[in-house]
Amino acid sequence: MTDLTVVILTKNEEKNLRKCVESFRGVAKRFVIVDSFSTDGTKKLCEKLNNELNEIGSRLDFYQNKWVSYADQLNWGLEKTNITTVWSMRMDADEEIMEDLAKEIQEKLPKVKSPVNGIILRRRVYFMGRWIKHGGRYPELLLRIFRTGMATCEMKVMDEHMILAEGTTVEFKHDLIDNNQKDLEWWTSKHNWYSNREVLDHQMTLKNEMDKSLEQDGTSSGQAKMKRMVKNGGYYRLPKFFRAHLYFFYRYYIKLGFLDGPEGKIFHFLQAYWYRFLVDAKIYECEKKGIKMKPQGDLKA
């Protein structure tokens, strides 16, 4: 079993959590669940999973902490739950690792030597059961595994990445997947919630109030840094509303999103057009009223 602790944030994740934990297939020594007071069966499921994990020499510890932001919650989990393993890993409850990645972690991670302190993983997104392979969505390269104490989540309202305090990274070959089991109503509600965070993040970025550790030579994935530069230095310089049209055209036609079938058509339209148009509408509303977007609590799942 790998000397690894997996930190997972939850809020009403009864439908997703089991497949996330079970995908590790005995690879991780410990799981840390940081829950923002779920109202479904998440806590009871965690108790059951812990009993099952104990049988194979692993364990799951359940904590609850009041939600402030994703970054605050994740950093709290990394700092306050007595992680003693050599390696830590960030996972979302709706993610899972593929069998090939589980084997790769088990075989390669114990052999990683200093100065390598971070592992970049490839993520693929599923939507309505279909792998979204096109539209520039695959692979997403993310810093997800790191030596304990060597990385923190940047303090941003939206689009937070892990940043290494020191050292270098290597990339593993196989995938983790984002495969949420909740319905389209939940997905659109989540993106409406995201849009408020996106507007606040943009407002704070314009006023230089946002964490710039990634932009200022912070060590994460190169792809994450490039996307941030393109969004803040390119996308947001285009006219409001028109940029949502342009982004959808780029994703669906130039980057071949139409090859992802009907599920891809729904995904690329909602994620690249509807969501971005909604963000612009809320930016417009805030500018018209001369107000700042109010921070929001956790998603009411």
The DSSP result for 193-229, as a single string, is HHHHHHHHHHHHHHTT-S--TTTTT-BS-HHHHHHHH
Contact 145, 87 (CB under 8 A): yes
The arithmetic mean of pLDDT across residues 78-89, rounded, is 98
Q: Which residue has the higher pLDDT, 25 or 87?
A: 87
Residue 258: which pLDDT band, with cuts at 50, 70 and 90? very high
pLDDT of 250 strictly over 70: yes
Using CA atoms of 152, 87, 94, 214 in order, give the dihedral in degrees to the nearest 10: 30
Contact 129, 263 (CB under 8 A): yes
pTM of the full structure: 0.92
Q: What is the DSSP track for 25-73?
A: TT-EEEEEEEES--SSSHHHHHHHHHHHHHTTT-EEEEEE---S-HHHH
What are the tens digits of pLDDT across the range 101-129?
A: 999 999 999 999 999 999 999 999 999 99
What are the tens digits of pLDDT across the range 126-151?
A: 999 999 999 999 999 999 999 999 99
β-pair partners for 127: 130
| Mean model confidence pLDDT for the chain | 94
Residue 7 three-state SS: strand
pLDDT of 231 strictly over 80: yes
Within a 13 Å sphere around the CA of 139, how many CA atoms are in the beta-carbon half?
Answer: 16
Residue 208: which pLDDT band, with cuts at 50, 70 and 90? confident
- The pLDDT value given to residue 296: 65
- The pLDDT value given to residue 157: 85
Q: How far apart are CA 155 and CA 72, in angstroms?
A: 7
